[in-house]
A = this chain, B = another copy of it.
């Protein structure tokens, strides 16, 4: 319940790692996997998906690898999770085709949809850059005020 998949987790780690090493033109899946102890083949597939959705750019061949397609500031955690795990819904309904069969009689799906929106907003407000620069962030974000309002 309400748990991130490890794949999404790994994806965030990898993106953060790439954001922290802008000097490298490209890093291979194996490089990143070794840096954290993530199964290399699994990470490879995750990075492939991120590439397919446009968050990363890939380059095959020797000295190839992956690099951020956009500035770290413009990549949100929401996008990463969405790319890896698919559409984001906290409820089983609105799950594309096959939701739960009692959707018509259900009286809490609308309020829960708002909650869903709120959480999605939280995720969207977090960028890869935010994850990477946490030490500096501790100083000045104390006053920063993102920003979620839940009006059920």
Contact = CB atoms under 8 A, between A and B. Distances in A.
A2 B119 contact: yes
A105 B37 CA distance: 8
Interface stretch (A22-30, A47-55, A57-65, A142-150): A142-150
Contact of A118 (B110, B115, B144, B148): B148
A4 interface: yes
A23 to B, nearest CB: 18
A108 B131 contact: yes
Nearest to A16: B108
A81 interface: yes
A71 interface: no
Contacts of A9: 91-92, 100, 108, 112
B145 A147 contact: no
A106 B13 CA distance: 8
Contact of A148 (B92, B102, B122): B122
A126 B152 contact: yes
A36 B105 contact: yes
**6 closest cross-chain pairs (CB), A and B:** A1-B85, A148-B148, A1-B5, A37-B102, A4-B90, A141-B151
23 contacts: A1-B3, A1-B8, A1-B81, A2-B88, A3-B92, A4-B90, A4-B91, A4-B112, A9-B108, A12-B112, A13-B107, A36-B102, A36-B106, A38-B102, A108-B131, A118-B122, A119-B122, A126-B152, A131-B152, A134-B152, A145-B151, A146-B150, A146-B151
